[in-house]
Amino acid sequence: METVGINRRSATFDDLGSLQESFIVKSRDYKLQYAHLYFMRLVLMRPKVLEQAELKWGSLSPVPKQVEKVLDVQQGEISYIVGTVYMDMKLKPNILNDITRDHWIAAQPDRPKYIDDDDSVYLEDESGRIKLTGPKIASDIFVTGVVVGILGSEDVNGDFKVVDVCYSISPPQEQISLMDTDEGDKYVALVSGLGIGSSEFKPLQLDLLAEYLTGEIGGTKEQTNSSNIVRVMIAGNSIVTPEIVEDDTKAKKYGYDRSSFVTEPTTILNNFLQELCTSVSVDIMPGESDPSSVTMPQQPIHPALLRSARDYSTFQSVTNPYWSCIDNVTILGTSGQTIDDIYKYVKSENRLEMAKKTLDWGHMAPTAPDTLWCYPFKDKDPFIMKQTPHIYFIGNQDKFATELVTGRGGHQTRIVMLPAFATTGTIALVNLRTLDCHSVSISTNPNKE
Amino acid sequence: MSQDAHAAKKRRISSNRTALMESQPSFLEDLELLQEMNQAAKVDDPSLLWARPTCNKINPSTDTIVFQQIEADEYMHSGMQTPVVRFYGITETGNSVICHVTGFLPYFYVPAPVGFKIENIPAFKTALETAIEKGNSIVKIEWKLKESIFGYHGGEKSPFLKITLKDPKNIAAAKRSIERGISFAGFSDFTGQTYESNIAYLLRFMIDCRVKGANWIELPAGTYQVKNDQNSNAQINIETSYDKIISHQPEGEWSKIAPLRIMSFDIECAGRKGIFPEAKIDPVIQIASMVTVQGESKPFIRNVMVLNTCAHIVGTHTMSFDQEEKLLASWADFVRRVDPDVVIGYNTSNFDFPYLLDRAKHLGVNKFPFLGRLNDVRTEAKDTKFSSKAYGSRENKAINMEGRLQLDMLQVMQRDYKLRSYTLNSVCAEFLGEQKEDVHHSIITELQNGNEETRRRLAIYCLKDAYLPQRLMDKLMCLINYIEMARVTGVPFNYLLARGQQIKVVSQLFRKALEKDFVIPAVNSQGGEDQYEGATVIEPNKGYYDVPIATLDFASLYPSIMMAHNLCYTTLLTPSTIQKYNLVRDVDYVVTPNNDSFVKESRRKGLLPIILTDLLDARKRAKADLKKETDPFKRAVLDGRQLALKVSANSVYGFTGATVGKLPCLQISSSVTAYGRVMIEKTKQEVESRFTVENGYEHTAEVIYGDTDSVMVKFGVKELEKAMKLGREAAELVTTKFDKPIKLEFEKVYFPYLLINKKRYAGLYWTKPEKYDKMDTKGIETVRRDNCRLVQSVIDTCLRKILIERDVVGAQEYTKQIIADLLQNKIDMAQLVITKALSKTDYANKQAHVELAERMKQRDAGSAPALGDRVAYVIVKGGKGVAAYDKSEDPLYVLEKNIPIDTKYYLDNQLSKPLLRIFEPILGDKAESLLAGDHTRTIQVSTPSIGGLMKFAVKTATCLGCKTPLKKDESAVCSNCKGRAPELYQKQRNIVNNLEVRFSRLWTQCQRCQGSLHQDVLCTSKDCPIFYMRKKVQKEIQDSSATLDRFVDW
């Protein structure tokens, strides 16, 4: 092989201390209930929504009255209120039913969607809740936990007829001057769903990916491209623990069975990470199937499990969701659970729209804790978007999709819906200079090349 | 809004619109529309909605008045000294009516003594008046030819004296005098059995005027007068004579129901810690009320009255009062203004109303206790005792509210449903499929003493609780079913909850007797000890049947026996009558298997068979109409009716057998059961002799069990279709062997079938060969209250595995797993909790829940259960010889202190018997092996944090792999187990993850249930299956994540 000196590009990295810090749960206190989290969310977001409400409705005539608390709404008076949305959906998983239903009925499989004709939308705050009606409610996307402002009035049935809805003002965005660096293109590589241990997993494909990212594959062109990748972010579901199949032939064990533990997937992941880390910076986020906490925010995978990679300075085991900043470009990523859960609330199949909606709402995981498992935070809500990211990626989605959106504040965000690598062989590269994004497919099938 | 103003506004908005055009989408049009709608629907004062629709002035000469009467009472006319019946009702337009009906006088009969002539009447009258010490009390005595209902007398009538009195109260005295003996000209010491002297005046009136419970009454124009009644709250007050009213039978058009106003309410009191609220001390702080018009889905009035300030509640009329007196007075005023026809609630008769009345009395709110339609009648709570063979004894309070029906949903539940628990919580879980948030009364006081926000929170609870009885009633169709029952049996609505089964039969019997010219003796029941032989049971052939078992049922067995054999009071023969009329056995009369004789229908059709035929025909009609009807409300009425008809038909037999009854006749009831026994036996013979291999059938049939009105037949075939075909064939065959209308019906096949014992069995129920209908169990008492939930779920699951999955081995495995889990402390605590109500403190024997309440009081008097509370407990390990009642412990305390559960108690005293019962028919002696063996070897006991040795114990960290004590620098595993660290980490990670999911699911569920995301969950419902789980997971997850944190590195 011809050797040309191609050096990997470097970039400045900032872990956005306070933002990142907010996802770390240091000491856990489970005496707390979820009310605090909703309370904090409402307290922190109410002023931002009110600001938007005043912008939007303050010039109407007559000026609608702002009502402080939901239950203070007076019948027949046009007014606006800010509160938290609650979706009453009878198809949401219900643990009471699961326990009280006769044990012999097999548990209902997780529904792809919770939606049903009987669903109703409520707005609530500390005082209570009110049912929302009107065409605006039927046509827009609502999920539990979003803080919104609504304009309308209470009807004779005690329901609130909504004529318009508003969300938080757009969170601030770091100024960057796109296209204005002379350093040339730099990329961040986004990968999700390696699926090591799952039935879809192809070892060869993973090897190719490692070779691609480390620049050991292809000609000079590819290698140069690879050298422009300054960081690899792995967005969850790297490992899948195989399901334990009960063996009827063996005598039944009435207790813990240590033989059910499988080490192989962790070893493969370790090797993969080690290979990458020798050449490029790697952040690994946990996902639904990884050995991390299941509640949001997921804590970093224990470094002791990633023994071969952990000593590299290029390696980081990080949270999900995950904030970071490369060359002043702010990046927010999740391993997908946030959008997967919103998906269940809405008719639409368009996951990119849902991701856009979270930017509108100013909140990345509104359905936590209602249907998205979550730690009971007491004095903060780490999921509020305190900044508008430049890159916002969602891992483990059904297919690759991307869009550069311009928000209300004129802020630009590159949204990337990342598919799982194990099933699609696809990863995404985002240009840190232009925010352009393209996918790269890695296939072990020679016909495809 | 005027045209100009409208246009001006439009301009204003449109001028704005141009300015905002770019950023503002089309919501402005919606906004404008909404503003206009608001103008139109504006209600300034919600109390304007309270009153009934206005009523035009009545012109008696041109207006016909039609109303549905819902209640009636009687009073004495002050001038004439005669009784007046007062009907309370509602017109179709929702106006309230009080209708006074005069002129109907009470009467009874006595057989004329031998030799008595019409001329003797005046002397008899004087003597009787003297005897009852009331001059001028008898209006008239008439000579009537009547026949006694009791016994067949060849159809001959005999002379009776019909004695008509002024005052119903004098009937009892007159009856007693005649029974004791009266002397008058020519007759010394005449004693006689009186007839029809034991029926209440009101019911007498209704029977004679053909008025049924809750039916429609019409007063044609010109037949009534308007009555000016200061004391009445009704909109229409009228008076008429009893012979002028038209009573519409509740058929066809007249099955409708008036727009009744139903008020559902709930009160909250501020109790003191640990003490059940007392009206003399603890104030009433909130009253929430909902008023709904019958047939509508939503209440049109929702309000809450609150002592002290309360923040506004959207959609609710919130009223604040600075004084409790004003609150009470305003609520009473609200009740009078809204004028409900039906008042419902949960335990209102025994708690809410007596409490309100006592409290008002204590505070001196004099206007309060007038809650009925009559301003001069005070509402009071009176003690009543109700005992009935069917419903048992109950002590209740009766609250009088003239003109309003009361339906205390707790009493309805206790009467009509057999449940594990009757708390509003469990009833809601059972019928509405949702848990009710339960706030402990100490928290109620705290919320009340907080600020207007906390009181608002309390008001929201109160409103929810006020609405639940209404939802329950709608769901169970109670009101409609009760109205239909009143209509079918002809008794006033209020009798249905306050009286037993008998009165309903009495009402029907008297009506039919009047029609057929019979009179009914007033029997003084002595409550004899005579027991007659009951139904028969064919000795069960116990076992597990893996072939279809066809079940043949006699349809309405007892009613059809009475109809088939003409069993009645009026057909009963004595040997002397048989002789007197030269009756021939089997031509003129039959002798029942009980050796009683009854004439055949050819000579006379009995009254009871006529009543039964009418009821069953009416039921057939109702069912046929039900099939055709599409309107859901009318369907509900029809369904209620057919049910009422069925229940009524079945209660006739019981009436004849009730020794403490109005008219017991054991010859009838014993003959009925005797026929039943013979029929079951005969069915067995017929089936077993016909369906044999010799007769060309595949197998010889065997009757494996029979009870009362059904037999279970094993035809031997393996296919459902074949068993069903044979079942139908057998039913037809046997039916031909009996008199009409007795009919044996093939209804269902059990396959498989687990026959445990008499009246104890379980099976999969099939009516069509494609798919089973349900799993049916009889007598497998999983609902017993002193069982923990575990028993119910284990038995239920086992039965399902055996019957539905046909997996006997699986059921055994499951049982073993559960026992293993139990012994390893893995069963959820909620499954082990036993609850009992603390109804009194001085039980004769020491009882677990009473002892625990006492101990809890010593720990913390505030949170200890008070009288009337339900005590939840688990049985914990105790030293040797500690009595079972001392081993009860508060589940929360157990969770907190890690106290070990007495798993052996649960295995031996709770699980083993019911488990053996279902497994013995299958496994025989081997069933015992379920309770011992490998799966019972691993035992895990939690280490308690209190008591005994724990004071001296020192905590040392041990290796999570091998449990050896750890050295200083080791945090999770010892050096030997280091290799296993990833595995052990993973194991602990999984434990924590499972707990995290549980934690999230449980606490978010509670948020949903309480209907608020922003407020802490306060609910302490011990009936809720997740209450203890929720507490337990909090503790476990804290401990397990601490353990996980020990894996710093390895």
Q: Residue A85: how many CB atoms within 10 A of its CB? A: 25
Distance from CA of A432 to the nearest CA of B (A): 32
d(CA B83, CA B174): 17
**Which value does ipTM take for this structure?**
0.90
- Pair (A69, A212) in one structural domain: no
Residues in chain B: 1050
pLDDT at A2: 46
Domain contains A250: no
Domain contains A395: yes
Domain contains A1: no
Which tokens hold the place of B178? 């005649």
**Which fold does the domain B65-103+210-255 belong to in CATH?**
OB fold (Dihydrolipoamide Acetyltransferase, E2P) (2.40.50)
Name the pairing type of β-strands A13-14 and A322-326: antiparallel
CA A123 to chain centre: 24
- Pair (A56, A188) in one structural domain: no
Domain contains A252: no
| Interface membership of A39 toward B (CB under 8 Å) | yes
- Among A residues 243-262, those touching chain B with beta carbons less than 8 Å apart: 252, 254-256, 258, 261
Residue B922, classed as helix, strand or coil, is helix
Residue B429: closest CA among A118, A370, A99: A99
Residue B44, classed as helix, strand or coil, is coil
Work out the burial of residue B992: count CB atoms within 10 Å of its CB; fewer than 13 is exposed, 13-18 middle, 19 or more buried: buried
Bridge partners for B382 per DSSP: B398
Instruction: Write the DSSP assignment of B197-217 as a string of letters.
Output: -SS-HHHHHHHHTT--TT-EE
Q: Give the CATH number, domain containing residue A122.
A: 2.40.50.430
- Pair (A128, A212) in one structural domain: no
Beta carbons of A149 and A67 less than 8 angstroms apart = no
Domain contains A223: yes
| Cα B856 to Cα B27, B330, B852, B872, B947, distances in angstroms | 61, 40, 6, 12, 16
- Pair (A399, A296) in one structural domain: yes
d(CA B624, CA B621): 5
Q: Look up residue A133 and give its amino acid.
A: T
Q: Mean pLDDT check: name the lowest of A58-62, A293-297, B570-574, B943-947.
A: B943-947
B696: left (phi over 0), alpha (psi -120 to 50) or beta: left
Distance from CA of A348 to the nearest CA of B (A): 22
Q: Residue B7: how many CB atoms within 10 A of its CB? A: 11
Beta carbons of B1013 and A86 less than 8 angstroms apart = yes
pLDDT at B22: 41
Which of A97, A99, A146 has the highest number of chain B CBs within 10 A, making it the mutation to test binding with B?
Answer: A99
d(CA B297, CA A7): 75
CA B340 to chain centre: 22
Strand positions, DSSP E, B323-378: 342-345
pLDDT at B200: 92
Distance from CA of A353 to the nearest CA of B (A): 20
**Degrees to nearest 5, angle at CA B136 with B130 and B139:** 115
Domain contains A7: no
Partner-chain contact B1013 A71, CB within 8 Å: no
Beta carbons of A363 and A384 less than 8 angstroms apart = yes
Residue A178 pLDDT > 70: no
Report which secondary-structure segment, H or E, holds B597: strand B597-599
- Pair (A205, A58) in one structural domain: no
Name the pairing type of β-strands A13-14 and B96-102: unpaired
Residue B426: closest CA among B866, B785, B791: B785
- Pair (A199, A304) in one structural domain: yes
Nearest CB partner across the interface for A33, out of B435, B1017, B1026: B1017
Domain contains A253: no
Confidence of residue A80 (pLDDT cuts 50, 70, 90): very high
| Interface membership of A79 toward B (CB under 8 Å) | no
Residue B1002, classed as helix, strand or coil, is helix
Tell me the chain B residues in contact with residue A292 when contact means C-beta distances shorter than 8 Å: 989
- Pair (A277, A138) in one structural domain: no
Tell me the chain A residues in contact with residue B793 when contact means C-beta distances shorter than 8 Å: 103
- Pair (A227, A292) in one structural domain: yes
**Which fold does the domain B262-488 belong to in CATH?**
Nucleotidyltransferase; domain 5 (3.30.420)
More confident residue, A364 or B24: A364
For residue B53, give the DSSP letter.
P
Tell me the chain A residues in contact with residue B934 when contact means C-beta distances shorter than 8 Å: 254
| Cα A348 to Cα A343, A351, A399, B101, distances in angstroms | 8, 8, 15, 68
| Cα A335 to Cα B395, B678, B749, B812, distances in angstroms | 64, 75, 54, 43
pLDDT at A192: 94
CA atoms within 13 A on the CB side of A325: 17
Domain contains A114: yes
Which tokens hold the place of A327? 């060359």
| Interface membership of A266 toward B (CB under 8 Å) | yes
- Pair (A123, A272) in one structural domain: no
Partner-chain contact A100 B997, CB within 8 Å: no
Which among A125, A148, A166 is the end of a domain? A166
pLDDT at A253: 55
Per-residue three-class SS string for chain A: CCCCCCCCCCCCEECCHHHHHCCCCCCCCCCCCCHHHHHHHHHHHHHHHHHHHHHHHCCCCCCCEECCCHHHCCECCCEEEEEEEEEECCCCCCHHHHHHCCCCCCCCCCCCCCCCCCCEEEEECCCCEEEEECHHHHHCCCCCCCEEEEEEEECCCCCEEEEEEECCCCCCCCCCCCCCCCCCCCEEEEECCCCECCCCCCHHHHHHHHHHHHCCCCCHHHHHHHHCEEEEEEECCCECCCCCCCCCCCCCCCCCCHHHCCCHHHHHHHHHHHHHHCCCEEEEECCCCCCCCCCECECCCCHHHHCCCCCCCCEEECCECEEEEECCEEEEEECCHHHHHHHCCCCCCCHHHHHHHHHHHCECCCCCCCCCCECCCCCCCCCECCCCCCEEEEEEECCCEEEEEECCCCCEEEEEEEECHHHHCEEEEEECCCCCEEEEECCCCHHHC
Partner-chain contact B1002 A39, CB within 8 Å: no
- Pair (A182, A48) in one structural domain: no
The reply to whether domains B262-488 and B525-601+659-776 share a CATH topology is no
Partner-chain contact A261 B13, CB within 8 Å: no
CATH class of the domain defined by B525-601+659-776: alpha beta
Bridge partners for A394 per DSSP: A334, A417
Residue B499 backbone phi and psi in degrees, to 5: -120, 170
Which among A151, A166, A181 is the end of a domain? A166
Rg (CA), chain B: 35
d(CA B630, CA B712): 37
Strand positions, DSSP E, B47-119: 65-76, 83-91, 96-102, 107-111
Q: Residue B657: how many CB atoms within 10 A of its CB? A: 21
- What torsion, rounded to 10 degrees, do the Cα atoms B368, B461, B474, B340 define? 20
CATH 1.10.132.60 fits B780-936, yes or no: yes
Partner-chain contact B1014 A84, CB within 8 Å: yes
Residue B312: closest CA among A87, A75, A159: A75
Partner-chain contact A29 B996, CB within 8 Å: no
Tell me the chain B residues in contact with residue A31 when contact means C-beta distances shorter than 8 Å: 1034, 1038
Count up the domains in chain A and report the number.
Answer: 2
Q: Look up residue B827 and give its amino acid.
A: I
Angle between helices B169-180 and B121-131 (to 10 degrees): 110
Domain boundaries of chain B, sorted by first residue: 3-42, 65-103+210-255, 107-208, 262-488, 525-601+659-776, 780-936, 956-1045
- What torsion, rounded to 10 degrees, do the Cα atoms B156, B162, B168, B174 define? -100
Q: Which CATH architecture has domain B107-208?
A: 2-Layer Sandwich (3.30)
- Pair (A150, A193) in one structural domain: no
Partner-chain contact A71 B1002, CB within 8 Å: no
Q: Is the peptide bond before B921 cis (omega within 30 degrees of 0)?
A: no
Partner-chain contact B314 A371, CB within 8 Å: no
- Among B residues 969-1028, those touching chain A with beta carbons less than 8 Å apart: 980-983, 985-987, 989, 992-993, 996-1005, 1007-1009, 1011-1017, 1024-1026
- Direct distance between the N- and C-terminal alpha carbons of chain A, in angstroms, rounded to an integer: 21
Residues of chain B with pLDDT under 70: 1-26, 41-44, 274, 386-394, 420, 525-532, 781-786, 840-844, 861-863, 867-869, 942-955
Q: Give the CATH number, domain containing residue A203.
A: 3.60.21.50
Which of B11, B292, B1014, B1023 has the highest number of chain A CBs within 10 A, making it the mutation to test binding with A?
Answer: B1014
pLDDT at B390: 57
Nearest CA in chain A to B434: A96
B924: left (phi over 0), alpha (psi -120 to 50) or beta: left
Range of the domain at A118: 35-166
Report which secondary-structure segment, H or E, holds B618: helix B607-628
| Interface membership of A370 toward B (CB under 8 Å) | yes
| Interface membership of B453 toward A (CB under 8 Å) | yes
